[in-house]
Amino acid sequence: MSKLAFLGLGVMGGPMAGHLAGAGHDVTVYNRTASKAEAWAKDHTGTAATTPRAAAKDAAFVMCCVGNDDDLRSVCLGEDGAFAGMAKGSVFVDHTTVSAAVTRELYGVAKDHGIAFVDAPISGGQAGAENAQLSIMCGGDADAYAKAEPIMETYAKLCRRIGESGAGQMTKMCNQIAIAGLVQGLSEALHFAEKAGLDGRAVVEVISQGAAGSWQMANRYETMLDDHFEHGFAVDWMRKDLGICLSTANENGASLPVTALVDQFYKDVQKLGGGRWDTSALLKRLQALD
């Protein structure tokens, strides 16, 4: 068993850190809201630290799941940042969805400190974190990934190194690009079924067994038909991710017309007051057009 740190105890990070503690690892946690870290430590017989540096001290692995590029920099860098507390040879594993640019920046800083840095964004949502069924896509040095993989497998159903630093974040962008189109398509299908006077559940029962089937359809159609959008991955976070995708596409020349359109549809959902609704709330936008 290893001495670990986990930075960020949101709907994803909290359960992930819990799986590590449940597997017998010695886990110290840090969260910007200190009370959340203290509550986690009490529930999991772990330790709460007041700074990322204190959490990372003597840890062989530091796992992180925060909000965005700036949040990641803030927990890594500076006098109280994790890098200042990590020993040479230790491994930092970032599960945050951020830009490949900040990933490569921090990979370089970590390397200068003698620390390995693995970008390891996740897919599977809150349920995947709670049930240890996450898909983890990784970038970074092969030897660093090999060290970290057994730790990540504690909460993963699939964990793969895709390539060098930044490759994990690029793969997560592919994931979000694919999801954007799928959720819009599902929303349109359910909206069309309603307008046509069809039983949406019966429609999905049939089409989900053919080429139209997807994870989104299997896991979201019922809550969508029930007008329930208060769970899962929030629209605000999806827009953050799609913004990263579109910015990167401008740099590498990729054409993402559907992604750009769906991003604007999510902006419409935000205007409806649905920033904290989950991503399947694209259906609400269509209904609001009636």
Handedness of CA 84, 86, 92, 94 (dihedral sign): negative
β partners of residue 5: 28, 62
Say which residues have a Cβ less than 8 Å from residue 102's Cβ, sequence separation at least 6. 69, 72, 73
Percent of the chain with pLDDT over 70: 100
Q: What is the pLDDT of residue 231?
A: 79
β partners of residue 108: none
The string of pLDDT tens digits covering residues 112-165 is 999 999 999 999 989 999 999 999 999 999 999 999 999 999 999 999 999 999
Contact 148, 118 (CB under 8 A): yes
**C-alpha span between 117 and 133 (Å, rounded):** 23
pLDDT band at 45 (very low <50, low <70, confident <90, very high): confident
Q: Which of 172, 240, 271, 284 is catalytic?
A: 172
172 is catalytic: yes
Stretch (H or E) spanning 30? strand 26-30
Q: Are strands 122-123 and 134-139 parallel, antiparallel or unpaired?
A: antiparallel
Q: What is the pLDDT of residue 290?
A: 82
**Among 20-34, 72-86, 222-236, 268-282, which stretch is predicted with the lowest mean pLDDT?**
222-236
Is the pTM value of this prediction over 0.85?
yes
With 0-12 CB in 10 A as exposed, 13-18 as middle and 19+ as buried, what is 73? Answer: middle
